[in-house]
A and B are shown apart, each in its own frame.
Chain A
Amino acid sequence: MLGALRSAARRLLGVTRTSTYYLPWIARPGLRCVLILNNVESRFTSARAGGPFPAAVVQYDARGTVVARYDAKVPTATEPLELPLDAVAEGHGFVTVDTARLQSDLYVTLGDDDAYTATHGRHEFVETYPAWTRAVHAALGAVAGLAGLTLPAFVRHQYVYVGAQDRSHVLLLNLSNVTNRIRTTAVADGATTARRLDAIAPRGAALLDVASLAPAGSAARVLHLRFTGNAWFNLYLVGAGPNDLAGPLSLMHVK
């Protein structure tokens, strides 16, 4: 029922969904962010032949600006390509990968010379709103924003963790071409601890510091976050240790 309503609303608003494979990225001094592009899951299909396999990569930063394009080619079905994302020294966002010739999940790694952590991307979609819908979003979103609210088109729930030596931040990805005003409500032990509203540029991203959502001196270990956005978005968790964002990080997918 809800799905049918959503489809009808998308048709009414002229929204198109483009199938897209995306992965998050983070660049920090001393941290190497490398994609592993591969086609290994095609090994037992006819798609394994005909390499090298083109896999164009487009890298968007937090403002939604394209900061790099890579004409990547996966050599063979069994030989992966490691693609360092080194166009910017510091930042975050997401990359899209043209997977028309690839049949595999792709990995993003964060590490240094000693070790790395890894997660995988998502084969979902990005939404494109026509000009008049973008104008409506901008006008209504600005009004709602005055009251700290957003248009509640999409909702996601996520637990995050905060401790003296570790925490999980949230990397919010705006998978649309409109400004996405994402409202975050944090609840710990049944009580709301914080509310905030982030306006994320089209195709942009925001790194949400979990410490800003937990009251100072709180003993809460687990926060329940509720995100509401006016357009399609997704998120990854960013694990941080004692040195927080200045130390080694992990990226972690959610369902």
Chain B
Amino acid sequence: MSSSSALCSATFVDPGYDHLVELVHQRDRVGHRRLESLELELYEPGGASLGRTAVDTRQDTLDLAALVAARAPGVARVMVTFDARYDSRVFPYRPHHYAYLKLRDSPDPPLYYAVNATLGGVPDRIEAATRQNNFETYIFLSRPAGERYGLRLGNLARFSSVEAQVITYHGEARAVLPVTLAPHEHADVQLPLEREGARLRRVELKTLFRLASYVTGRRADSGGLVLFDHLFTYFK
């Protein structure tokens, strides 16, 4: 039996962005030695695989934008899974991939984010990772007028579809939006900025099992990402 421990993370790639992924966040020599292997798989929005590739774990960072452009040219949104295998001595530290994201030729600042750790990670060896992680929330600032919000969701399951609920709160108004995703299907769910005259203040995501999930904020005029963040689990 292999003594390696798996962690599957996922992110999404849009054309037009610089997108650099750190194979080992906060690299030190020990941290790098404990990443044994890393394989990436690309999926188009409908869930079909666009190919799988092994990554040299000795690299510091991976140019994800270049890799996707070469392997999936013309695809508007690609979900990329990171199937990482670690020497189990890495625990109880929870390994992450972090990423740098910047829309080219844009006046907006770059974003930096933790690639969504979705499956595995040997939960009983990671402090506090046995929490329920499929019921999450995020709060929005009430003021800016030129930003549009959404959720980016991806189903990492190989065989099971999932029916998720995206719940928005505009003041007292609560609305439920069902989202069904087939295996490896992914979606951009737009969140209405206003409802019954009230601004969007909060969103919740409920699913039967954990999805790859990000909150997005885009400039209304250019569509450029200014917010790309994880949600927060209710139960810590």
Contacts and interface: CB of A to CB of B under 8 A. Distances in A.
Q: Do A and B bind each other?
A: yes
Contact of B112 (A107, A109, A239, A248): A239
A109 B224 CA distance: 17
Interface in B110-158: 110-114, 137, 139, 141-147
A86 interface: no
A239 B235 CA distance: 30
Given A166-B102, A222-B20, A240-B109, A116 B25 contact: no
Interface in A92-136: 103-105, 107, 109, 111-120
Q: Interface size for chain B: under 10, 10 to 19, 20 to 34, or 35 or more residues?
A: 35 or more
Contact of B232 (A104, A243, A253, A254): A104
A255 B96 contact: yes
Given A222-B60, A250-B110, A117 B227 contact: yes
A242 B227 CA distance: 18
Interface residues of A, number: 53
A254 B100 CA distance: 12
Nearest to B28: A157
Given A115-B219, A117-B109, A41 B232 contact: yes
Given A114-B147, A116-B227, A254 B234 contact: no
A243 B110 CA distance: 12
A183 B28 CA distance: 16
A248 B232 CA distance: 25
B105 interface: yes
B98 interface: yes
B141 A168 contact: no
A105 B232 contact: yes
Nearest to A249: B109
A197 interface: no
Nearest to A248: B109
Given A80-B201, A118-B217, 9 more contacts: A41-B232, A115-B217, A116-B141, A117-B109, A117-B217, A117-B227, A222-B61, A250-B110, A250-B226
Instruction: Please name the 3 residue pairs, one residue from A and one from B, whose CB atoms are nearest each other, closest first.
Output: A114-B146, A252-B112, A239-B109
Interface of A: 34, 36, 38, 40-41, 43-44, 78, 80, 82, 103-105, 107, 109, 111-120, 155-159, 161, 163, 165-168, 221-222, 224, 237, 239-243, 247-250, 252-255
15 contacts: A41-B137, A78-B169, A111-B144, A113-B146, A114-B147, A116-B141, A116-B144, A157-B26, A159-B27, A159-B61, A222-B20, A240-B109, A241-B102, A247-B107, A250-B111
